[in-house]
Structure formats: C-alpha cells, structure tokens
A and B are shown apart, each in its own frame.
Chain A
Amino acid sequence: MKQNIFSVVRNRFNNGHDVKDKKNQNIPKDLLFKCTRCGSTVFMDEFVHNGKICPKCNYHARIGARERINITVDKGSFIEFDKDMIASNPIDFPDYSEKTKGLREKTGLNDAVVTGEAKIRNERIVIGAMDSNFMMASMGSVVGEKITRAFEFATENKLPIVLFTAAGGARMQEGTISLMQMAKTAGAVSKHSQAGQLYITVMTDPTTGGVTASFASLGDIIIAEPKVLIGFAGRRVIESTIKQRLPDDFQTAEFLYEHGFVDMIVERSKMRRTLAHLIKLHKKGNLEGVTDNE
C-alpha cells in the first residue's frame, strides 16, 4: 500500500510535465527527505531504508532516542530509568508548561533524554540517548538529573556507560538552573571516571552549546557519526561576529576529528559492533601463557 504511494510520487517526479503541474508539486513533505548537509532531496522510503542516512553525502540524520537504543542494545534487554520524570516550571517561564506538555503528547517522550540499563552483546551497560524532537534536546533539570542518575547508577554498579549526545544547548526556560546542570552532570562524570569505569560518548546530530561544554566532551572515548554537527557556539552567531560565511565543513564530525577532539567517526551500521568491541577491550585480561596467581 505504502509502496504504491511512493511509486505514484516517483512517477510524477520523473514525468516532466507532471512536475510542472502546480497540483502535483504539492507532494506531501513527509514523502521526501531534504538533506540539511548537501541539500539533495531524496525519497523518504529510500532515506529510511538507508538507516536515515543521506544516500548522496553520508550525513547521518537524526533518529529518535528509543529507535537509537533499539538498534544499539540486545533485543529486549533495555530497562528504562526514571521514565515518569517530567519538567516543572521553576522560574514560571511563559508558555513553558504548555510547551512541555504538548511535546510529551506529541512525541511520546517525557523529556529530551531516555536512560536505562541494557546489554550489548551480553555485556551489561548503562545507556542514554538524547532526542532532538523534544525542544531540540536542550538540557534542563530533567535531562541533567537523568544523566546524573545514570552515571551514579553506573558508578555504584561498576558499569560502563554509553551516551548518544544531541543538543541545541541549555534550556533557557529554566534559567540559571539549566546552566547548573552542566556542573552537576560533569561532577557525576568525574565520580564515574574516578571509580575507573568506562564512559563512551557518541556525538550525534546536533551536539552543541552547554552539552558540548559539559558531559558530551568528557568521554574516555569520543565517537561521532559521519557529517553530524558538533560545536560550542552556533554557526550563525559566529558568522555574525566575523561577518563572513563559514565553510560547509565547519563544525562537522570530520572537522572535530581533524582538530583532535574526536577519536573515531563510525557509521551507524557499525556502531553496535564497535561499541561492543570497545566495551570488551576495557575488561581486565591476562597475558596469554601467564597464570592468574604468580
């Protein structure tokens, strides 16, 4: 059924006089994907079939937090933490309560991060994924608290933690309280690190602002998906400061890799495998031929 709709649209597209026809130009937007990196327009089914990766330029587009966890961990192994935690409105910011309520209904998410424990190739881990569908994955109290609790759980239970980061920055609707979440999460990272546990950051599109300037940049290993946006300041802010257009590759995963801030760029299709290997490599081992007790 769906297939038919796509082929109808495709035929219209391929058919010169049809495309010129005004009526037919109104192809529903959700049937097409326009790449924010290279500007190409491709059919949504092709894009989705490709794992939400632009077939033209390999830009790894955004995917939701639950989808991310699903494609990363062992089937049925995920146990969610704090799933009922929702935002309050600490400084009575206009329309904030309505906005979060509306987004909870629309997205099925309670806020911009999903955390929990899971297994990856049978190794127990703590995992978190941010979701840009919820207020551009900005960090307020809920994101800060859930990330902090995830680290605290990982520290207590001596577990590695994998975080898929995404964020437009701090959540201004919670004022200075959101700024403090940067310190709170960084403190929790520090305790986990001092307990000798592994933290892997996977930077996804977009990782910017206060999240970049706190827990996202503090992983023992920092991975990025190809072509994603990573930075501290917004591109437009910089462009208006220097009054110049920035090159297209500015603040991409590859730019960060080149400048020494990312360990590796990993394709989505190889992410689960890569994470599993890295987690295994951080387990204690023995030199072959040498027995435990000397």
Chain B
Amino acid sequence: MSDNITTAWEKMQIIRNKNRPTALDYIPMIFDDFFEMHGDRYYGDDHALIGGIAYFRGLPVTIIAQVKGHDLAENQYRNFAMPHPEGYRKALRLARQAEKFGRPIICFIDTPGAFCGVEAEERGQGEAIARCIMEFMTIKTPILSIILGEGGSGGALALGVCDELAMLENAIYSVISPRGCASILWKDASKEEQAANLLHITADDLIKMQICDYKIEEAENGANTDPHYTAENISKFIFNSLQKNLQKRLDELLELRYNKFRRIGEFETQGL
C-alpha cells in the first residue's frame, strides 16, 4: 500500500481502530513457544507492559511489549497500555536476563505514554523510565524496537533505546500527544488534527530525521484488515535486522547504539 497521501491525523484514526492488532496478537504469528514472565521483583506485575521468552525462527529471544486492549474490559486490565514504574522495572529485569543468556531483545512499543497517577509518582515513574533508558544503552545483546501504533513520549522511549527502530506504516512517535500540544499551543485540545500534522510524527517524517530506521508495510487500510500480512512483514524486518546485528562485535554494537542517539539534535552557533 502506498501511503504517501496519508497524513499524521489520518494515521491516528487508523491506529485508534479497536481491532488493530496488538503485540499479543502478533506474537503467536511471529514466534513459537512464548512463555510470559511476570513481575518486577520489587512491587508487582504490570499488565500494560508484558515480557517473556520465545523462539524466533529457532533462535531464543526475549520479547518486551506494551499491550492495548481490544475492548473496554481488556483496556481496563491493560491500563490502556500505560505502564506504571513496575512495568519499566520488569522490562529492565527481563533485558538483563536476555543479556545474561545472550538472547536478542525485541521490543514492541504501543502506548499513549507512561501512566500519570499518584501511585506512579510515589513509586518513581521518572526514575523508572530514566533507568530503563540509561541501562538499555549498554545492554550487551542486540535490541530491536518496533512501534506498532502509538509511540507516546518518554513512556515509549523507555523501550526505544535500540540498535534498530522500525515503525509500522501507520504508527506515530511523538514527544507529546497532539491533543496535549494543541491545548498548550492554542488552549484548545480540539485542534488536535492541526497539531498532529505539525509535529512530524510519522514513519516517513522520522526516517527523514534519522530517528526511525525502517518502515514496515501494513495491509491496505491498516494492519487490522490483514494481521497476517503485517506479521509477515514484521517477521522479515526482525530476521534481516537480527542477521545484521548479530554479526557485530559487542563493543561495536554498543558504540553504534550510543552514536545512533548521540548524533540526534539540530542547533546553530550564534554569529555564524
């Protein structure tokens, strides 16, 4: 499908479809023998962010994923894919295990953002995300991240420190929700559409800015119309990317990962 005509706002309508496949839908289509692991070993188990071990075409891998629900009950259970600190601490725990056993890590990002609430603050939401970001920078095993739908701010970035970042064709990745941006900018949250098209949050935008490395094609009219087709494309990306990254020496891999983020930023020098 050619998506040259789809704006950020149109993509947002596609990814808001409640039938859009989540990581839990894709996992059985892409991996074998998935075992889910639970808990951060400090406080509890977060249902918005899941993780476990599975085979990818015969290779053991660790999967870490934010998961939305398909209906209200499931969304309440998954907290609308907004993790608490224990979610990020679970992610880090599983990443450390992946490093120990030499398994590559595959992250699926799909969140409006980290949860904003009293308990999240009490348990250190900021610290949990910060530590995840910092530690993923030096995890000694290849890390791939794939944004399935919404890549909302720091809560998404916590699973986005990786060797290669892919986005599904209709996914977005943004520092602030377009709604939040509109309400700050124009004091009018209903101007969401204008804000969405202003923020440069689509895969094409982010490939141009060298933030995203690869765009994964979805089925016509969105991934939900043919989840298997999209899963096949995700699988191809994972295969190609693992093949490439597993060949690198670990010190080289980490240096490249550091530089992937180190070079992002645009500024000027006064007087030049």
Given contacts A86-B269, A213-B126, contact A237 B161 (CB under 8 A): no
| Cα–Cα distance between A176 and B198 once the two chains are bound (Å) | 11
Q: Which residues of A contact B270 (CB under 8 A)?
A: 84-86, 110
Q: Is A177 in contact with B129, judged by CB distance below 8 angstroms?
A: no
Q: Which residues of B contact A231 (CB under 8 A)?
A: 121, 126
Q: Is A212 in contact with B117, judged by CB distance below 8 angstroms?
A: no
Q: Is B124 in contact with A180, judged by CB distance below 8 angstroms?
A: no
Q: Which residues of A contact B133 (CB under 8 A)?
A: 182-183, 186, 213-214
| Cα–Cα distance between A195 and B181 once the two chains are bound (Å) | 39
Q: Is A172 in contact with B137, judged by CB distance below 8 angstroms?
A: no
Interface residues of B, Cβ cutoff 8 Å to A: 114, 116-118, 120-127, 129-131, 133-135, 137-138, 153-154, 157-158, 160-161, 173-176, 181, 184, 198-201, 205-206, 209, 211, 258, 261-262, 264-272
Q: Is A187 an interface residue when CB atoms closer than 8 A count as contact?
A: yes
| Cα–Cα distance between A200 and B181 once the two chains are bound (Å) | 32
29 contacts between A and B (CB under 8 A): A84-B271, A85-B269, A90-B209, A141-B267, A172-B199, A175-B175, A175-B199, A176-B175, A176-B199, A177-B265, A178-B175, A179-B174, A180-B264, A181-B264, A188-B262, A190-B134, A190-B135, A190-B138, A194-B138, A210-B154, A212-B130, A213-B129, A214-B134, A216-B126, A218-B134, A232-B116, A233-B117, A241-B117, A259-B124
| Cα–Cα distance between A174 and B266 once the two chains are bound (Å) | 9
Which residue of the partner chain A has the closest CB to B82? A241
Among B120, B130, B174, point to the contact of A215 (Cβ < 8 A): B130
Among B122, B138, B160, B267, point to the contact of A88 (Cβ < 8 A): B267
Among A86, A179, A190, point to the contact of B137 (Cβ < 8 A): A190
Q: Is A44 an interface residue when CB atoms closer than 8 A count as contact?
A: no
Among A177, A246, A259, point to the contact of B266 (Cβ < 8 A): A177
Q: Is B201 in contact with A238, judged by CB distance below 8 angstroms?
A: no
B158 to chain A, nearest CB (A): 8
Instruction: Give how many A-B residue pairs fall within 8 Å (CB-CB).
Output: 180
Among A87, A171, A216, point to the contact of B268 (Cβ < 8 A): A87
Q: Is A184 in contact with B184, judged by CB distance below 8 angstroms?
A: no
Among A216, A233, A251, point to the contact of B130 (Cβ < 8 A): A216
Which residues of A from 147 to 186 have beta carbons under 8 Å from B? 148, 170-172, 174-184, 186
> How big is chain A's contact interface, by range?
35 or more
Which residue of the partner chain A has the closest CB to B158? A213
Interface centre among B126, B138, B271 (most CB of A within 10 A): B126
Q: What 10 additional pairs, Cβ within 8 angstroms, besides A216-B126, A231-B126, A232-B129?
A: A84-B271, A141-B266, A172-B175, A176-B205, A186-B130, A212-B127, A217-B127, A232-B116, A234-B116, A238-B118
Q: Which residues of A contact B120 (CB under 8 A)?
A: 232-233
